Amino acid sequence: MAIGSLVKLNSTAAYNTVASAQGRWLTVNDNASTAQTAGDELLITAIDDATFHWCKVGPHVTRILIGARIDDGVTTIATSPTVYVVGVWGSWNEATNSWDSIDRVMRLDAATWAASATTITLLAASSLSQDGTYAYSNPVNLDGIDLKGAPYFGLIVDTAASVSGGADTVVALQVTGIN
């Protein structure tokens, strides 16, 4: 299976803007109901899940808010997903959908790879904001996770999400950029 295509997180905020960057919520993992293969967080070139997308950081973005999107009929959360937030310094080849070179890989949500993965807490859809089709989790952290200058990042699923009761059981992971 091939890895998902690159997605780009852009901002329309000006360089001198002090407030948060303006942007949209972008899906960076189409379905966190599947965990990456154990060890992929340490060997990122081994990721071959089509639901996973590396994200190119746009101008003015220094931090990300992370949340999840579920079907608005979901009534039961068996497991909330956990993720490693990973930054990559390197060169991405959009034509081959792969890394040309990697200079550095670093965990952005913890100081060590041995630390627990970040939990994206899910609640039954009736307890979340909704738009008539989906329900949206609260962000993991309202201050955002600092990208530490990484030009690319990804959310590598460590523990798969498990939900039921809705029309589908897809748990999409989403981010928005802030400065």
Residue 164 contacts residue 78 (beta carbons within 8 Å): yes
What is the bridge-based pairing of β-strands 26-29 and 172-178? antiparallel
User: What pLDDT is recorded for position 11?
Assistant: 54
Strand, coil or helix: what is 122? Answer: coil
User: What pLDDT is recorded for position 60?
Assistant: 86
Residue 11 contacts residue 32 (beta carbons within 8 Å): no
Residue 90 contacts residue 101 (beta carbons within 8 Å): yes
Instruction: In whole angstroms, give the CA distance from residue 103 to residue 90.
Output: 5
Query: Given CA atoms 115, 99, 25, 148 in this order, what sign does their dihedral have?
Result: positive
Please name the helix (run of DSSP H) or strand (run of DSSP E) that holds residue 82, with its range, or none: strand 82-93
Q: Could you tell me the mean pLDDT of each successive run of 10 residues in the chain, 179 residues long? A: 72 47 86 91 90 92 95 96 97 93 96 95 94 94 94 96 94 94
User: What pLDDT is recorded for position 161?
Assistant: 97
Instruction: In whole angstroms, give the CA distance from residue 71 to residue 30.
Output: 13
Burial of 146 (0-12, 13-18, 19+ CB in 10 A): middle
Q: What are phi and psi of 126, to 5 degrees?
A: -65, -15
Q: What is the DSSP letter of 55?
A: E
Q: What is the DSSP string of 142-177?
A: TT-EE-TT-SEEEEEEEE--EEESSS----EEEEEE
